[in-house]
Amino acid sequence: MTSRKIVLTGVSRGLGRALLDGFIEAGHTVWGCARSADQVAALQEQYGEPHHFAAVDIADVDAVSEWANHLIAEHGTPDLLINNAAIINPNQVLWEVPPEAFHQVTSVNINGVYHVLRAFLPAMIDQSNGVVVNFSSGWGRSTSSHVAPYCASKYAIEGMTQALAQELPSGMAAVPLSPGVVNTEMLQSCFGESADQCATPEEWALTAVPYILNIAAEDNGQSLTTP
């Protein structure tokens, strides 16, 4: 497969870190972001050029725009854009979730995805080429108690991505992708030790990396789930 330029948010841990390692091992170039400057610096030191990592809070529209403009001007247009970064609320019934916690979830999980799309898509559309993968969740297609804000955010990703798919030019694709149930810090916050029964991010990435790389124009608008 031809080497591709991949934008990936939330690269410092969990699914994002596992994808990062997998994409680079497969010979692709990754431009990633995370909020932790220390973790980003460590990634840059580990991988170096042509990969680029930046400390960016995707909830900050100006920071995202600056990051995207620099990458596109210096390195060109991405072929694959993956919105992975997300957070989850502390386990609580909806009416007891503090407003700041609810707003933080939607600011990152919905607004942040929009900010990244807004920043990178025009250049991709100019080339009528590229794939957008917005991470959804099983909780974007079903619900559970005590995670209502997170469910709301992932249902929003499903709807926003499918609407986007109708707007893209022929030859491009946008898909909401559920990773399935993986033993991440977010899953542990909900399920505790029982999360240990699920696949690790590294195990998940063994099939997720080739699966994502094979998403193409004919998949546009489909709600997908990694094997």
Catalytic residues: 150
Structure tokens at 180: 């399935």
CA-to-CA distance for 112 and 54, rounded, in angstroms?
15
Residue 213 buriedness (CB in 10 A; 0-12 / 13-18 / 19+): middle
